[in-house]
Structure 1
């Protein structure tokens, strides 16, 4: 699906099984970030987007209905923009003041589509697995009215008692054998769970903590299917950090082909009033001579990146004989090389350059260069190193005839089957 094409609710002619994603919460326990936790990024992608992709990967799910907070439409739109889902994504519906009210609003929005079953899932569980979804759907197909994913409680459980001494004391050890830790999705026959929520709303039963509790309150039987320890719910700021760390490690591990390449470039001085170095204009009594803006630093970095891909050099892609590149800014060359890495599903791990010159002084401009290089390549500042040295008045740089730059690039690429042979 093109990035500018919204997922269509009419992709499939009918909805047998729908997923209802509850994303209307404020997530106050996740810290005071600039957005609720479901819109915060883990591994560079919003939590909600990861949840939607995980659900849509299950073949049994025909459509997804998301319930959002009334203030979150811009955040929602940004999160789903460009998503390519394997099922229909219905327009979002505004939730209520509580989770229970939000689920009811979502069920009402789904009712005209006449689904037979619905899987109700927390937006903050982005690691739900196909196996858990499949087990839930199969149990419903076998005739169950309600099923929930859950795990046996493995820790020893204590009941606490406040004795007024400042610390709670142990009142008793609870038998954990019948206990289960509930997860989502929680799956139901659609008509049964909608009716249960409607009855609970009419009767003021508003303190039911999950949809299984609503179904039980209405007299339905809810059974267990096996959950998954990986299907964690992101609740706190620490959970967000742990999830981000997990995804980052997985991402880097998948790019097991580490490549390091070096490059060298030099430009002579000519008449002028400034030089371009590392994407920064520096006033000087001369300029660097070249077909482009002669930014020797960006040229060397461009060649180093292209070398990690075995993809020629700057002269191959931007020949000086081509007038299109006359006096062009060299940031275009480095951005091109960076994009070539991304096109191979690669990641730039580190860029390093050493500038060799007597003048101008590099120290006052070093941090500005680092920031500009990081910006051009779309990588963190911590992955860019800029150093400078003189040649002790030796050679052409020592005589002040020009500037040289040495660069190295470290790139991580996926291990393709052809590379593993």
Structure 2
């Protein structure tokens, strides 16, 4: 008997704004979770299963660069497609893209559910031997009240008949594609794909969900997700420090924290001589025991001449992520008489945060002078000192 083809649609076309109240500018599916973007974790949960034929991601039209920056590489990962104005419309775009490949089964997964387990996924697929559709669900344990006006209780529901739906939701491809096409002609929006299947008269089964299979929606959900991950590995906090200085030479601007600041001189160095980013890079590398910036980007290598120091910082952040860690916070102090730094701090926090995939609220940038003492006081150069707090899996 021919093995059935199993395709996965990961729906990542939303803006994820409700999860951004903590200062992060990234949509929730692209935010870092223990050093790895949420969407990358979600996709990898399916690519790690050998029986999955292909995975297709549906993205927001403005997120092509963000998606490309995930750096996902797998022969079974199809090029992304652009979603629609609603989740329902986005799923339909994914189904249309898969139709020429004629899948047997399709699993539809929320991008913001990075903890789908092989057990849950396998149970959904197994149920499709007997049913047209299947979804993981958890029994409702809280008492559920119904209210007509949002204030006064109208009735109490029978919770023994209620369950909370999760994803992935699985279906026989031809049936759910047809149901979605018909549903698109209606003036209503369905809350999930199982509801569309129910409306179309398909038989949909429930399998046991998983308490950890949460959907990240609000900022506090990231804290819960971090706790879930910490149960998989014992984490420890490491501290690294960095120190760098550069002298001035004739020029018209300095680069500090990834921001160009007009000045009557520039900093001398092989790259852009961004003393703040160099110190931060060394601090991160020190926290994870990976040497210093000169080990990874030797000044004798001409390819780094004039290079933006954000390249060095991103490399350090990528090493943290590769090791399964996450950057908790960064602190850098710039010591100089001029230029004035304070008004540029928010821009520096933004650049550093975007480079490392962390919220600007986790980054402190401070400045002070040397009270006219020494080479800094004589405005011959400047110094930066940095520290990095990094959470890493414990290795005994």
Give the TM interval when normalised to the shorter protein: 0.5 to 0.7
**Alignment partners' CA distance in 2, 1:31 and 1:301:** 25
Q: Which runs of 5+ in 1 are unaligned?
A: 1-12
**Alignment partners' CA distance in 2, 1:272 and 1:26:** 45
Task: Note if 1:180 corresponds to 2:178.
Answer: no
- The equivalent of 1:110 in structure 2 is 98
Q: Scaled by the length of structure 1, what TM-score is found?
A: 0.63
Task: Note if 1:387 corresponds to 2:368.
Answer: yes
Summarize the Cα distance change of 1:53–1:169 in structure 2 as closer, same or farther, 3 Å threshold: same
Task: Note if 1:412 corresponds to 2:393.
Answer: no
1:63 alignment partner, one of 51, 54, 66: 54
2:139 alignment partner, one of 152, 156, 162: 152
- The equivalent of 1:7 in structure 2 is none
1:349 alignment partner, one of 329, 345, 349: 329
Contact 2:234 2:394 in 1 (8 A): no
Shift of 1:111: 3.9
- The equivalent of 1:258 in structure 2 is 238
**Alignment partners' CA distance in 2, 1:337 and 1:25:** 29
For 2:119, what is the secondary structure of its paired residue? helix
Summarize the Cα distance change of 1:206–1:413 in structure 2 as closer, same or farther, 3 Å threshold: closer
Identify which range, 288-297 or 191-200, moves more after superposition.
288-297
Summarize the Cα distance change of 1:113–1:151 in structure 2 as closer, same or farther, 3 Å threshold: same
**Alignment partners' CA distance in 1, 2:223 and 2:31:** 11
**Partner deviation per Cα, 1:166-219 (whole Å, 9 max, x = no partner):** x743333222112112222222233444455567779x7967654434444454
- The equivalent of 2:8 in structure 1 is 19
Contact 2:31 2:38 in 1 (8 A): yes
Q: Which runs of 5+ in 2 are unaligned?
A: none
**Alignment partners' CA distance in 2, 1:201 and 1:399:** 69
Shift of 1:64: 3.0
Shift of 1:220: 3.9
RMSD: 5.4
Summarize the Cα distance change of 1:339–1:251 in structure 2 as closer, same or farther, 3 Å threshold: farther
Q: Scaled by the length of structure 2, what TM-score is found?
A: 0.66
For 1:232, what is the secondary structure of its paired residue? coil
Shift of 1:148: 1.6
Contact 1:39 1:76 in 2 (8 A): no
**Partner deviation per Cα, 1:293-347 (whole Å, 9 max, x = no partner):** 998877776766665546268599757xx6969xx76975x96476346435464
**Alignment partners' CA distance in 2, 1:278 and 1:368:** 9
Summarize the Cα distance change of 1:139–1:415 in structure 2 as closer, same or farther, 3 Å threshold: same
Whichever of the two has the greater Rg, that structure is 1
For 1:73, what is the secondary structure of its paired residue? coil
**Alignment partners' CA distance in 1, 2:148 and 2:36:** 42
Which protein, 1 or 2, shows the higher relative CO under an 8 Å CA cutoff with sep ≥ 6? 2
